[in-house]
Structure 1
């Protein structure tokens, strides 16, 4: 293809979609304004300008480009997706009592929890205003359903995250809610607004769904296998926050009674002591669950690439395939 392989796939995609993404960013700035409540753009700008990859809105534009869309509405849908994502981040940081995101203090730390929650609500409302404007009922259904699925996934996580009875099927349901729902809505909406046929729209949904699941599994794996300098996360943050992610779920499934008692004390009861993280890492290595988790992420990445095979032969299709590889390359 003659592409510079030293440039990361999401950067190549961003360069290809640069004109559209500039329009998306302009629309985001316009719509996050508030005549009466200046705190809204202050809080929103803090997060929106914090240097995220803008992967979700890019997926809308990529799907529309792949399907040959020539109209203006993919810009609105991309901005919608970014507003939903930003709203969920504001709410998540309050729920998780987070102090840092993307290397910067969180909005709830700089302002307060009330501001984060209410500005998140405002962005959800803005997202719904944006998604109505194209006048496409099917697109409206896709994006509004995704917003409900995200909220449902977050609530499910509250009850499942510290319960050792949580199995891999529940974990997958949580991941589909909190992460994959917006990836798949982005790609599906991009195809739908383009007038693509049902099989192509389904393929785009399947790609986004599998990509989002792989993305979240890798994120959870890096909490035990990563390098803080590379990932921006401290090793063991999920353990300290008592989050029952896939590596621990796999370890609990293989645990003997003594090991299960360890997980009950540290995850369910939250009674953690010095050396517990090291013991958790030892148990994960003992049962080889980090490698099993890595293989699961690779399997979802391959599912994402397979979904693309029925779509038109296009430069963007190759970039999306490379993106699926890149998501898991951090643990390959």
Structure 2
């Protein structure tokens, strides 16, 4: 599989410009805020979401100045949600570094997340990018609804597969869908094409989250600690399949174990072993590939070229990664 740096080569110049503009978009006259945003920029991730914006614009007519603003808006929103998530989850690490709340405490972390969100909204308003505002606001609404739906289902230990798909569609896929939608809109695509790109992004997002959920039950070399979702009592696709395809007494026993593991490593290992032995991972892999194939079907309706190839490579990177 190609590295992320190899995939981004066709849009590398645009990404470089974007990085500078993204850094500028976070600037503040408050020294504390500037220190924190500098810390954020230095520890940026792979920038998968801006890449989806740029490749989507490229395949729909071309990258322009508004594409950069759309990418900045999405990345500001994404960064804000990550900061807030770390507070909610009481997490002290992000991508191997200390989280904002670990270094500056929860109150400041929440305020920084709010600040980044407001900067994104103001960036769009300043340039009359009202289509971007609509797209991103709808994504934000879905992300919040997805989070709350997941909290509700965790409490009730709801194990229905359709509910799982609805949670990840709202919680994860909506943001990737908004990246592709913003990219297409920035290039001046018609409404039908913009909707096609939104659906493309949604299917990628679902496949991405299924892949991420599989890591919880994988091997020790995936780059993500095992059993994190189990510790949080999240019922994801591999576990749902295994529970729904087990005898009633086994299903009841495993549900009780998920509810009452008390972070016991032996009990968590028992749940992971149960999922591996009952085909949960294999089933999740099949479903992930189904959504990946559906995304490719949409992508293949666009003309062949460097942009389509770049998007295909980016999809494979996000859904076939090992960490």
* TM-score with structure 1 setting the length: 0.90
Question: Which of the residues 43, 64, 79 maps onto 2:57?
Answer: 64
Partner of 1:316: 307
Partners of 1:99 and 1:262 in 2: CA distance: 33
Query: What is the CA-CA distance between 1:261 and the residue it aligns to?
Result: 3.4
Does residue 26 of structure 1 match 2:20? yes
Query: What is the CA-CA distance between 1:282 and the residue it aligns to?
Result: 2.4
Query: What is the CA-CA distance between 1:162 and the residue it aligns to?
Result: 4.4
Does residue 39 of structure 1 match 2:32? yes
Q: Structure 1 residues 274, 83: closer, same or farther in 2, change over 3 A?
A: closer
Asked if structure 1 preserves the Cα contact closer than 8 Å seen for 2:2 and 2:317, the reply is no
Does residue 281 of structure 1 match 2:272? yes
Partners of 1:319 and 1:101 in 2: CA distance: 27
Partners of 2:259 and 2:110 in 1: CA distance: 27
Partner of 1:301: 292
Does residue 173 of structure 1 match 2:170? no
Q: Structure 1 residues 246, 117: closer, same or farther in 2, change over 3 A?
A: same
1:21-67 per-residue CA deviation (whole Å, 9 max, x = no partner) reads 1222112211212113x332333333332141101111111111112
Query: What is the CA-CA distance between 1:255 and the residue it aligns to?
Result: 3.4
Partner of 2:121: 128
Question: Which of the residues 200, 204, 215 maps onto 2:197?
Answer: 204
Does residue 239 of structure 1 match 2:234? no
User: Structure 1: 5+ residue runs without aligned partners?
Assistant: 1-5
Asked if structure 1 preserves the Cα contact closer than 8 Å seen for 2:63 and 2:186, the reply is no
Question: Which of the residues 2, 14, 33 maps onto 1:7?
Answer: 2
Partners of 1:303 and 1:47 in 2: CA distance: 35
Partners of 1:108 and 1:204 in 2: CA distance: 35
Q: Structure 1 residues 70, 322: closer, same or farther in 2, change over 3 A?
A: closer
Partner of 1:142: 135
Q: Structure 1 residues 34, 150: closer, same or farther in 2, change over 3 A?
A: same
1:63-89 per-residue CA deviation (whole Å, 9 max, x = no partner) reads 111122353111111011100000010
Query: What is the CA-CA distance between 1:146 and the residue it aligns to?
Result: 1.0
Does residue 106 of structure 1 match 2:106? no
Between 1:129-138 and 1:16-25, the stretch displaced more is 129-138
Asked if structure 2 preserves the Cα contact closer than 8 Å seen for 1:162 and 1:267, the reply is no
Partners of 2:7 and 2:319 in 1: CA distance: 17
Between 1:274-283 and 1:217-226, the stretch displaced more is 274-283
Does residue 158 of structure 1 match 2:158? no
Partner of 1:326: 317
Does residue 82 of structure 1 match 2:105? no
Between 1:318-327 and 1:287-296, the stretch displaced more is 318-327
* TM-score with structure 2 setting the length: 0.92
Between 1:149-158 and 1:130-139, the stretch displaced more is 130-139
Partners of 1:217 and 1:66 in 2: CA distance: 26
Partners of 2:130 and 2:100 in 1: CA distance: 34
Query: What is the CA-CA distance between 1:271 and the residue it aligns to?
Result: 3.4
Partner of 1:3: none
- Note the aligned Cα RMSD (angstroms): 2.0
Secondary structure of the structure 1 residue equivalent to 2:300: helix
